[in-house]
Amino acid sequence: MVKDQYQLYVIDELAKKYGVEVLRLSPYHYELNPIELIWTDVKGHVARNNTTFKFEKVKALLSDGMAKDTPDRWKKCVEHVQKEENKFFKLDFIVDDVTVKFINTCYRL
Residue 38 burial (C-beta neighbours within 10 Å; 0-12, 13-18, 19+): middle
pLDDT of residue 105: 80
CA distances from 68 to 12, 42, 62, 71, 78 (A): 31, 8, 10, 9, 16
Angle value at C-alpha 58, between 53 and 63, nearest 5 degrees: 165
What is the structure's pLDDT at 1? 45
Domain edges within the chain? 29-108
- Summarised one tens digit per residue, pLDDT across range 92-109 is 888 888 887 788 788 776
The pLDDT tens digits for 33-57 are 999 999 999 999 999 999 999 999 9
Per-residue model confidence as pLDDT tens digits over 2-21: 456 667 788 999 999 999 99
- Distance of alpha carbon 70 from alpha carbon 55, whole angstroms: 25
